[in-house]
């Protein structure tokens, strides 16, 4: 079965993007944090060493990208986070190890997966970042749910009250998507929120074609011949 490209009733970026992003840049998202995510967060705190360095793979799904990131960032814990217990049961299984290495090998000792709600986890994480206890070296956000109908647009992370938190978690945030409008919106929202929050950000959007797929969704889209996009947001010192 080939992956269908995104079906949407939007032909350009969300028309009220600037107003929505500015509104949320001026407010604080106050929804109470779920107990299960608070507990998951405590377990992650135990994995982080005195250096405070870690990498997040948010919405990791079946967790394949967490393996790649853990091999790249060998010396720090790499935390794959997803709310789907079913998807997480596949994390680090033998099929996935084979796909991600071209042969069988072990799960890197610094790869971990937890079940949590991102909207809660990110707020707890930002508290740690703001007091200098955590340094999130890289934040991967690979193929988040696109919510392609215009009426659902404010469920997209960049049009949600969580966006200012997401943007401030790490000096490097990497979004991957198979939907050009999502990539353009994310980049534009980063510009708008960055300016509203006085963050100095470098935002780069590009089409890319990875030599080897790093996630289950990426493989599905590449197999179907779809174009892939990446937005890298870096904070400038």
Q: Using CB under 6 A as the criterion, which residues of the chain lie in contact with ligand SAM when the complex forms?
A: 59-61, 65, 82-84, 87, 117-119, 142-145, 215-218
Smallest distance, ligand SAM to C-beta of residue 210, A: 12
Residue 72's alpha-carbon distances to 108, 175, 180, in angstroms, are: 10, 17, 27
Residue written as token pair 């930002």: 126
Which lies closer to ligand SAM via its Cβ, residue 61 or residue 77?
61
17 vs 119, beta carbon nearer ligand SAM: 119
Cβ 93 to ligand SAM shortest distance, Å: 14
Q: How far is the CB of 237 from ligand SAM (least distance, A)?
A: 29
- CB-nearer residue toward ligand SAM: 188 or 218: 218
Cβ 124 to ligand SAM shortest distance, Å: 13
Give me the least distance between CB of 202 and ligand SAM, in Å please.
Answer: 24
At 73, list the tokens: 């960032």
> Which of 82, 188 has the CB closer to ligand SAM?
82
Q: Which residue is nearest to ligand SAM (CB)?
A: 61
Cβ nearer to ligand SAM, comparing 18 with 226: 226
Closest by Cα among 83, 77, 73 to 40? 83
Using a CB cutoff of 8 Å and minimum separation of 24, what contacts does 152-161 make?
A: 153/10, 153/14, 154/20, 156/182, 156/185, 157/186, 158/21, 158/185, 158/186, 158/189, 158/190, 159/14, 159/17, 159/20, 159/21, 159/185, 159/189, 160/24, 160/119, 161/24, 161/27, 161/28, 161/29
């Amino acid at each position: 079965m080939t992956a269908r490209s995104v079906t949407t009733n939007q032909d350009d970026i969300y028309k009220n993007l600037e107003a929505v992003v500015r509104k949320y840049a001026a407010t604080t998202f106050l929804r109470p944090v779920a107990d299960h995510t608070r507990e998951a967060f405590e377990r992650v705190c135990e994995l982080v060493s005195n250096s405070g360095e870690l990498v997040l793979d948010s919405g990791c799904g079946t967790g394949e990208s967490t393996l790649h990131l853990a091999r790249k960032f060998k010396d720090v814990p790499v935390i794959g986070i997803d709310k789907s217990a079913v998807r997480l049961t596949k994390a680090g299984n033998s099929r996935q190890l084979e796909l991600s290495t071209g042969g069988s090998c072990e799960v890197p000792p610094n790869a971990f997966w937890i079940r949590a709600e991102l909207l809660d986890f990110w707020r707890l994480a930002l508290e740690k970042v703001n007091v200098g206890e955590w340094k999130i070296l890289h934040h991967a956000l690979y193929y988040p749910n696109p919510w392609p109908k215009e009426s659902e647009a404010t469920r997209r992370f960049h049009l949600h009250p969580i966006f200012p938190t997401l943007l401030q978690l790490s000096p490097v945030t990497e979004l991957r998507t198979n939907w050009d409008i999502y990539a353009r919106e994310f980049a534009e929202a980063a510009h708008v929120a960055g300016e509203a929050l006085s963050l100095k950000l470098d935002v780069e959007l590009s089409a890319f074609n990875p030599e080897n797929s790093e996630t289950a969704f990426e493989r599905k889209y590449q197999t179907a011949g779809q174009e892939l996009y990446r937005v890298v947001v870096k904070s400038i010192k």
